[in-house]
Amino acid sequence: MSSPSITLADQAALTIASHQLLRTGEKVLVACSGGADSVACLSVLRELGYALHVVHFNHRTRGAESEADCNLTADLAFRWGLPFHVISRPILDEAEAAGEPFESYARRARYAAFLDIARDTGCAALATGHHQGDQAETVLMRLVRGSGMRGLAGIPPARMEQGVRIIRPLLDCSREDIERYLRYWELPWREDASNASNAYTRNRVRNELMPLLRDSFNPIVDEVLARTATCLRDDDNLLRQQAESLLHRCRRSQNEIDRQTFTDAHPALQRRVIVLLAERHGVTPAFERVEEARHHLAHGATGASCDLGGRLLLRNGRRTAEIVAPERAMEWGTRQPVHLACPGETLAFGKRFRTRWLSRLPAEPLKTYCHPGRQVFDAAHVQGPLVVRPRQPGDRFRPLGMEGRRKVKDYLGDLGLTPNQREKQLVLTDGEQILWIVGRAISAKAAAGPHTQTLLEVEVDDASM
């Protein structure tokens, strides 16, 4: 009989190499429950020559059974001379106190503890025993619940969390190969009796749905589903790169995108752009909200809003749309006016304002000398100290080149600005009148002309520049 360690260890080595799970000299923390998968993972990584630490999490839910799991893991670590770490907590009591489901609470608690120990011990990676069967079950569970390509890509071979690489060296190995390996080397493992209970969704998939699929549809369904997940993961990575490129082309500011550029893109990329924008604000929108947002960007009216969830709104301007948390916009709009040094430099509202006096008109025409970041005013018509502030309800001014006074809100609306952009619009005043809708129009009353003797020049740019 040939040694099954060649098959299992070689397959794990191939997975490690193809996904660059580990680098030479890195230490690995192996999470070992005492079950077949994690014992095999520990043994294979030891066989491949990696520097290992072993960690066991005792949930204290099964009395003497839980203690036996812990003792088996400790015995293996002692036999192989590996550093051993154990965490023992009453997880069921903790979950009930927190009002959370046991499975999700326990998983979060385990990983948090494992990552702490990995960092404390200088381990670059945390290895778990997930295998091909786990991958197949995950794909089915997500398919039944409803998931996009990223979800159907299943368990990734590696992911970074809090500076630690979480790896799955056995992800391409079957459960049968794992048990054959353990029996050949006469390695002990323990079966968790709770795995036979169908109280949890994953157990029902494992104990009822997967056997049905193997017996009635495809005996190698585990391998097929795992292979499908791999293909979908590669496809998703490619589409995500293209979505990042589209977002870069669409972007007009940190949270603002060009509606036409977005609308011209393929729907698959549109969905990903919306998700990327939302995720950067800590929100993962549901599919229905993503579809609503796609339609909103393409066909929604100027000024209309679409809810992405998590108190994020997507607000349409005429040409652009902006993602904004409404409460942040409100907080921004209530900030106090700032007096500008004149002459001098002042930081206000994330901008740098520079002012100076000019004794004559610039040599070049004012139409080309002035631009959104620089304006000049007739100093004789500036009545008081310069003040910059956000636009306020009821603000009015007479734009240069136009008849009569206009509400600033209406003027900005005619430019196609979103409500949030209008709320954030800065105005420069002399305490009595608006001199400049910053970056846009100046007041006719303070505009410089051929007979101006002294000018006030104001420049503005981002404070980060």
CA-nearest of 2, 10, 5, 3 to 169 is 10
Per-residue pLDDT at 198 exceeds 90:
no
Beta bridge partners of 409: none
For residue 362, report the phi and psi dihedrals to the nearest 5 degrees. -60, 155
**Do 142 and 273 have their domain in common?**
no
**Do 300 and 354 have their domain in common?**
no
Helix%, strand%, coil% for the chain, nearest 5: 45, 20, 35
Residue 154: give its domain's CATH number: 3.40.50.620
Under a CB-based contact definition with an 8 Å cutoff, are residues 371 and 385 in contact? no
> Residue holding tokens 């046991």?
102
Under a CB-based contact definition with an 8 Å cutoff, are residues 444 and 398 in contact? yes
Confidence at residue 396, expressed as pLDDT on a 0 to 100 scale: 87
Q: What percent of the chain has pLDDT over 90?
A: 50
Residue 448: give its domain's CATH number: 3.50.40.10
**Do 299 and 388 have their domain in common?**
no
Domain total in the chain: 3
Confidence at residue 345, expressed as pLDDT on a 0 to 100 scale: 80
**Do 311 and 414 have their domain in common?**
no
Please measure the distance between the N-terminal and C-terminal CA atoms of the chain and give it in whole angstroms.
Answer: 70
Q: Is residue 248 part of a domain?
A: no
Report how far residue 309's alpha carbon sits from residue 353's, in angstroms, rounded to the nearest whole number. 36
Q: What is the pLDDT of residues 272-323, one digit of tens each?
A: 999 998 888 878 888 888 998 999 999 988 877 788 877 788 888 889 998 8
DSSP per position, 355-423 = EEEESS--SS-HHHH-BTTEEEEEGGG--S--EEEE--TT-EE-BTTSSS-EEHHHHHHHTT--HHHHH
Burial 362-396 (b: 16+ CB within 10 A, else e): eeeebeeebeeeebbbbbebbeeebbbbbbeeebe
Of 291, 324, 357, the position where a domain reaches its end is: 324
Q: Is residue 132 part of a domain?
A: yes
Q: Give residue 203's identity as a one-letter amino acid code.
A: N
Confidence at residue 4, expressed as pLDDT on a 0 to 100 scale: 55
Per-residue pLDDT at 230 exceeds 90:
yes
- Mean pLDDT in residue range 159-187: 95
Band of the pLDDT at 464, cuts 50, 70, 90?
low
**Do 66 and 85 have their domain in common?**
yes
Band of the pLDDT at 3, cuts 50, 70, 90?
low
**Do 89 and 127 have their domain in common?**
yes
**Do 349 and 297 have their domain in common?**
no
Confidence at residue 42, expressed as pLDDT on a 0 to 100 scale: 98
Q: What is the pLDDT of residues 233-245, one digit of tens each?
A: 999 999 999 999 9
Q: What is the pLDDT of residues 134-160, one digit of tens each?
A: 999 999 999 988 888 888 999 999 999
Q: Is residue 238 part of a domain?
A: no
Q: Is residue 314 part of a domain?
A: yes
Which domain does 84 fall in, by range? 4-228
> Residue holding tokens 């060649």?
6
Of 228, 244, 266, the position where a domain reaches its end is: 228
Q: Is residue 87 part of a domain?
A: yes
Q: Give residue 279's identity as a one-letter amino acid code.
A: E
Check residues 253 and 330 and name the one with the higher pLDDT.
253
**Do 295 and 344 have their domain in common?**
no
Under a CB-based contact definition with an 8 Å cutoff, are residues 344 and 457 in contact? no
**Do 341 and 306 have their domain in common?**
no
What SS3 state is found at 427? strand
Compute and round to an integer the Cα radius of gyration of the chain. 32
Q: What is the pLDDT of residues 423-438, one digit of tens each?
A: 788 999 887 788 889 9
Q: Rounded to an integer, what is the distance from CA 454 to the centroid of its chain?
A: 52
pTM score of the predicted model: 0.67
Confidence at residue 330, expressed as pLDDT on a 0 to 100 scale: 42
> Residue holding tokens 């326990």?
106
Band of the pLDDT at 326, cuts 50, 70, 90?
low
For residue 236, report the phi and psi dihedrals to the nearest 5 degrees. -65, -40
Q: Rounded to an integer, what is the distance from CA 171 to the centroid of its chain?
A: 25
Quick one: tokens of 17? 């190499």
